[in-house]
Structure 1
Amino acid sequence: MSHAVSARDLLRGKFGFADFLPGQEEVVEALLAGRDAIAVMPTGSGKSLLYQLPAAAGPGLVVVASPLIALMRDQLRGLADKGVPAVALHSMQDDAEAGAALEAVRSGRARLLYAAPERLAQEETQQWLRKSRVKLFAVDEAHCVSHWGHEFRPDYRALGEIARALGAPPTLAVTATAGPRTREDIARTLFSRTPLVFLRSFARPNLSLAFARKRPGLRQIMDFAGRAGESGVVYCNSRNGADRLARELARLGLDALAYHAGLDSGTRAAHQDAFFARDGVVMVATIAFGMGVDKPNVRFIVHADLPTSVEGYYQEIGRAGRDGLPARALTLFSPAELALRWRAPGAALADEAAEGDYARRRAMARLAATSGCRFKRLLGEFGEDSAPCGKCDHCRGGPLAWPGRLGALTLGWRAALGASFAHVARDGPAHEREEGVDAGVAAAPVEAPPPPETQEPALTIEEARLLRALQAERRAIAKRRGIAPRAVAPEAALRRLARERPLSLSDPALGDIEDAAALLRVICAAQ
């Protein structure tokens, strides 16, 4: 019996689906034939089935590297209902739970193991996995492997070596968002053999996009999101911003709830349950609210701040309209944000990660300032050519849309020029920037502690841990550049970052810190 026939039987018998979704069958067939594969498929296209069905297909263990405990738990519940034995290993388990999972793998009862990348990196874990028959090694959210991806995680970088340590079984990398450069990095980092690459179109014909210059007050968000009974998500780039905006929207009558990593787990769980249970809930959130969120009737997405990358933006707007019905997305931005995105930090010239950060934020600025079709520009960033969508703010209205197009073009030119002038004003002429190490150290500001009456409250344990990580990164930057740590960023600035945890280079908390991108990576890793 062919792989395709047996896979289709499993699809119907185990998973209860009449047929594969577009793009699924050819990936599953390749994996069952022992091939390596990269599958780039939009949110909602059934990526988890690609590794779940091989787990149900017969003997051997499927190992899935997954970054989210909540997503593991959700998928474990679904697999239990389908009779596919699966377990997970993660940091929130007690010893008894972890021991039961290990025993299920050792005995061969478990067909599928979810594990966090840091757990897979442990030599002890690799030793007992080598004794198991690993028939497929899958990497979920594979864009986290790449410096060019929008959610780079250092632990993911080692997964290719881990797969080889487990005997180089067939490997699958799945993601919803990966442009050409990210795909190349995934293939180079994760695979010891040349993988097949499966790409689904990123087009979302039911989704209309709009961008607008940010105005004072909440009128723009209320006009866009204020339809009674509609569920939506409003994304902010900081925790404080999410808390504040949720309170203000609730005061104006919306059923608005905040969600971010700074809330205790009970509050987060209650707010997420309310979002899924009630119609009309507006979740005001940071990027902590995202992966694994699968509510079909989300009708709108608002970005109250300019997102950090087109990949993150695409993933976030992809949470709207998953039922196939019309949905809409609005992004608000300021000209100052665009100028900041256009400005190339000095570190981008020498550091691959910083270069990736700069490329992503500039691509997002190009999308905000484009004078053409928004979706055509967005798809172009993923290497996909398309016709105008006919639904975005630049496509609607025909000739009447031209004033808006010209306005976007003008904003883009102003931002680019503003970035150039800011660079010159900050750095001065080239001969003035070529200072020695001693001059840099001598110029470092000396800060006196604030007087007792103005001292801030003590940091929480979590904030203090982040501050130590930021200080370590600052020392590394200072050592590379041959300057004093305080010349990189004052201590007060690091404490402010530890408290506010900004998630975008455009956040005012990052100010004019030269190496803001490196510090931002430390903050994002702590989310």
Structure 2
Amino acid sequence: MPQPLDVLHATFGYSAFRGRQSEVIDRVMAGRHTLAVMPTGAGKSLTYQIPALCRPGTGLVISPLIALMHDQVRSAEAAGIRAAALTSADDNRDETIARFRDGAIDLLYVAPERASTDGFRRMIDRAPPLALIAIDEAHCVSEWGHDFRPDYRLLRPLLDAYPDVPRLALTATADRHTRADILTQLGIPEDGLILAGFDRPNIRYAISPRDGLPRQLAALVAETEGPGIVYAPSRDGAERLAAALAATGRPTRAYHAGLDPSVRAANQRAFVASEDMVMVATIAFGMGIDKPDVRFVAHAGLPKSIEAYYQETGRAGRDGDPAVAHLFWGAEDFARARRRIETEVEEARLPGERQRLNALAGLVETAGCRRAVLLRHFGETPPAACGNCDNCLNPPASVDATEVARKLLSAAFRTEMRYGIGHLTDVLAGRDNAKVRTLGHDRLSVFGIAEADELRLIKPVARALMARDALRADEYGGLSFGPAARPILKGEEAVAVVLPPVRAKRQRRGGPAEEWPHDPLFEALRARRREIAKELGVPPYVIFHDATLREMAGLKPTTRHGLGQVTGVGTRKLDDYGEAFLDVIRAHG
């Protein structure tokens, strides 16, 4: 039986395992059931690819999306792995089944809907033994998870039909409740949990109130090179923001469920192949993308939960190079989210959904380290500061705004909770305008009670109160009390607000990759990679990651043996592409 470390070096070009990869692989090699919770970019796919190459039989991989399966098959084949997908979008179904029965496939990818059918199980029974069963995106099996998929609940009979086949559940996003549920639903013992942590140190987190969103996004795009994703809260929003960003000259596409399927697929292919495109999309986009070189992910509105935020931002920097995650939010995001929870979520799930939204409020409101808030949510005990988020890099001021909050809540109450923040500000400021006089609000006890310095805090205080559910906005903009209002009014709870630091105007620069000086050899290697990728019809990253090209440019190997020592250059890629890249290096010698 081949040894995992030998396969790691020969097939993938790496000299050692990272983090807890070897621990997961050792359990699978020993035939033990395992749940591995590993951050995106930590090499989860290697934990099933390597045992599938070492153990007898085919590795069965259950994956939720066709696009994701095709990306993974393409990358596996480029490394010399015999891989195939059995999906409704593949026209070689009979050929794949025949190869599977002949033992000529190392990895077979299927969706949970197919894997749970009786017909699929009969096909497995007539094939050589399985090396393992990997369940990717395993949080989908749990109702506690943020992306529950009922079809995942139907997998247990398949797993139990092959009790001696090691099952490996994989996810990057699972809190304590979700982890416990995954173990139960997939029949994995408690001692089978391997928690590799959630930290993505290469991602720089930043969160800002929305204040001219197109301008804010254009600034982010201008200062950050490389591919990026902007998540918009609606189809219309995605179209409008895509048009605004395209006007900056950056290649930009839109992606949402309202587009014709052929247009949507074409836009996705263009983004996957691009080295600088911005995709403006709804959350329908992303899980099916295994693109490692995304340099930034921006949210144009509030995600559904911290889990969703973590997963969506995790699509940045999968190659380990520096990346940015920037969230732009507004008080109305929380108002909409709370209305959705109260009107659309079944009663049994209400407490969990409310808790998730409150946790998200804590993340956007904090004056402390963003990464620490994220990691504590997932049960970790991180340092107080990470040095790579907006609050650590440029600490904001935090002011006690309890009195302003009480005045704002009182104004909402005295005006019968029918008016928005603009009118309440007029009342508190004592502005003698027609609307205030007509409504008789100039005669209220709250008229003119706010000082000038307090009026400057009204907007951030309103955002804070809506985030923590002390104020709620109806669909017409009227503000009313939420359950968190009472302790503030009674003086039992303080309200602090964060005042974002003033940003100096910045010139266009390289963003997260700015620390790397311009290297003509590196750029020449990227150009050659681009040519090969175009010839083969695959994304450039399938050939080599930027980190591999950067190491080539630094080491400047001129022989096949020397090139084979570069991280990420396995035997198959050395045979397929080695001479092409050696020619570039020699030409720059």
- TM-score, length of structure 2 as denominator length: 0.65
Match of 1:417 among 452, 459, 470: 470
CA distance in 2, matches of 1:148, 1:235: 23
Match of 2:392 in 1: 395
Match of 1:107 in 2: 102
Match of 1:74 among 71, 75, 100: 71
Higher mean C-alpha displacement, 156-165 vs 199-208:
199-208
CA distance in 2, matches of 1:410, 1:379: 27
Contact 2:136 2:171 in 1 (8 A): yes
- Give how far 1:21 is off: 2.3
- Give how far 1:251 is off: 2.5
- Give how far 1:186 is off: 0.6
- Deviation string 1:334-365 (CA, Å, 9 cap, x unpaired) is 1122244456627868424x554444333323
Contact 1:236 1:242 in 2 (8 A): yes
Match of 2:360 in 1: 364
CA distance in 1, matches of 2:198, 2:188: 28
Give secondary structure in 2 for the equivalent of 1:22: coil
Contact 1:393 1:401 in 2 (8 A): no
Q: How does 1:466-505 map to 2 (within 5 A)?
A: none
CA distance in 2, matches of 1:349, 1:78: 40
1:217–1:200: structure 2 CA closer, same or farther, 3 Å change rule?
closer
1:99–1:153: structure 2 CA closer, same or farther, 3 Å change rule?
same
Contact 1:371 1:405 in 2 (8 A): no
Match of 2:14 in 1: 17
Percent identity between the two aligned chains: 43
Q: Which amino acid aligns with 1:112?
A: L
- Deviation string 1:83-139 (CA, Å, 9 cap, x unpaired) is 433332111123xx2122222222222232211111112111112213442231110
Contact 1:164 1:192 in 2 (8 A): no
Q: Which amino acid aligns with 2:387?
A: G
Match of 2:432 in 1: none
Give secondary structure in 2 for the equivalent of 1:245: helix
Q: How does 1:105-504 map to 2 (within 5 A)?
A: 105-132=100-127, 133-167=129-163, 169-191=165-187, 193-227=189-223, 229-291=225-287, 293-341=289-337, 345=342, 350-352=347-349, 354-387=350-383, 388-398=385-395, 400-402=396-398, 411-415=463-467, 416-419=469-472
Q: Which amino acid aligns with 2:36?
A: A
CA distance in 1, matches of 2:293, 2:49: 25
CA distance in 2, matches of 1:404, 1:76: 55
- Give how far 1:277 is off: 4.1
CA distance in 1, matches of 2:303, 2:344: 21
Match of 1:506 in 2: none
1:101–1:390: structure 2 CA closer, same or farther, 3 Å change rule?
same
- Give how far 1:144 is off: 0.8
Match of 1:7 among 4, 8, 22: 4
1:121–1:321: structure 2 CA closer, same or farther, 3 Å change rule?
closer
CA distance in 1, matches of 2:210, 2:190: 46
- Give how far 1:73 is off: 1.8
Higher mean C-alpha displacement, 107-116 vs 403-412:
403-412
Contact 1:38 1:195 in 2 (8 A): no
Higher mean C-alpha displacement, 227-236 vs 406-415:
406-415
- Give how far 1:296 is off: 4.3
Match of 1:59 among 31, 52, 56: 56
CA distance in 1, matches of 2:137, 2:266: 25
Q: Which amino acid aligns with 1:389?
A: C
Whether 1:31 and 2:28 are equivalent positions in the alignment is: yes
1:190–1:255: structure 2 CA closer, same or farther, 3 Å change rule?
same
CA distance in 2, matches of 1:376, 1:323: 22
CA distance in 2, matches of 1:149, 1:174: 13
CA distance in 2, matches of 1:317, 1:244: 22
Contact 2:462 2:471 in 1 (8 A): no
1:391–1:48: structure 2 CA closer, same or farther, 3 Å change rule?
closer
Match of 1:484 in 2: none
Give secondary structure in 1 for the equivalent of 2:132: strand
Q: Which amino acid aligns with 1:320?
A: A
Higher mean C-alpha displacement, 406-415 vs 118-127:
406-415
CA distance in 2, matches of 1:403, 1:275: 43
1:359–1:288: structure 2 CA closer, same or farther, 3 Å change rule?
same
- Give how far 1:425 is off: 8.1
Contact 2:235 2:258 in 1 (8 A): yes
1:426–1:213: structure 2 CA closer, same or farther, 3 Å change rule?
closer
- Deviation string 1:412-437 (CA, Å, 9 cap, x unpaired) is 3344111499998899xxxxxxxxxx
If asked which structure has higher relative contact order (CA below 8 Å, sep 6+), I would say: 2
Contact 2:134 2:168 in 1 (8 A): yes
1:186–1:255: structure 2 CA closer, same or farther, 3 Å change rule?
same
Give secondary structure in 1 for the equivalent of 2:123: helix
Match of 1:445 in 2: none
Give secondary structure in 1 for the equivalent of 2:32: coil
Give secondary structure in 2 for the equivalent of 1:351: helix
Unaligned runs of 5+ in 1: 428-527
- Give how far 1:64 is off: 1.1
Contact 1:187 1:195 in 2 (8 A): no
CA distance in 2, matches of 1:373, 1:404: 19
Unaligned runs of 5+ in 2: 403-456, 484-589
- Give how far 1:216 is off: 4.1
CA distance in 1, matches of 2:70, 2:345: 38
1:257–1:72: structure 2 CA closer, same or farther, 3 Å change rule?
same
Contact 1:366 1:412 in 2 (8 A): no
How many residues are matched? 420
Contact 1:275 1:283 in 2 (8 A): yes
- Give how far 1:303 is off: 0.3
CA distance in 2, matches of 1:368, 1:362: 10
CA distance in 1, matches of 2:274, 2:123: 44
1:402–1:323: structure 2 CA closer, same or farther, 3 Å change rule?
farther
Contact 2:68 2:290 in 1 (8 A): no
Match of 1:89 in 2: 86
1:17–1:361: structure 2 CA closer, same or farther, 3 Å change rule?
same
Contact 2:316 2:323 in 1 (8 A): yes
Tell me the C-alpha RMSD between the 2 structures: 3.1
- Deviation string 1:258-287 (CA, Å, 9 cap, x unpaired) is 123333444334333433444432111122
- TM-score, length of structure 1 as denominator length: 0.72
Whether 1:40 and 2:54 are equivalent positions in the alignment is: no
- Deviation string 1:457-505 (CA, Å, 9 cap, x unpaired) is xxxxxxxxxxxxxxxxxxxxxxxxxxxxxxxxxxxxxxxxxxxxxxxxx
Match of 1:49 among 37, 43, 46: 46
- Give how far 1:140 is off: 0.5
1:74–1:322: structure 2 CA closer, same or farther, 3 Å change rule?
closer
Q: Which amino acid aligns with 1:108?
A: G
- Give how far 1:47 is off: 0.8
CA distance in 2, matches of 1:292, 1:45: 18
Please tell me whether Structure 1 or Structure 2 has the larger radius of gyration of its CA atoms. Answer: 2
1:326–1:259: structure 2 CA closer, same or farther, 3 Å change rule?
same
Give secondary structure in 2 for the equivalent of 1:307: coil
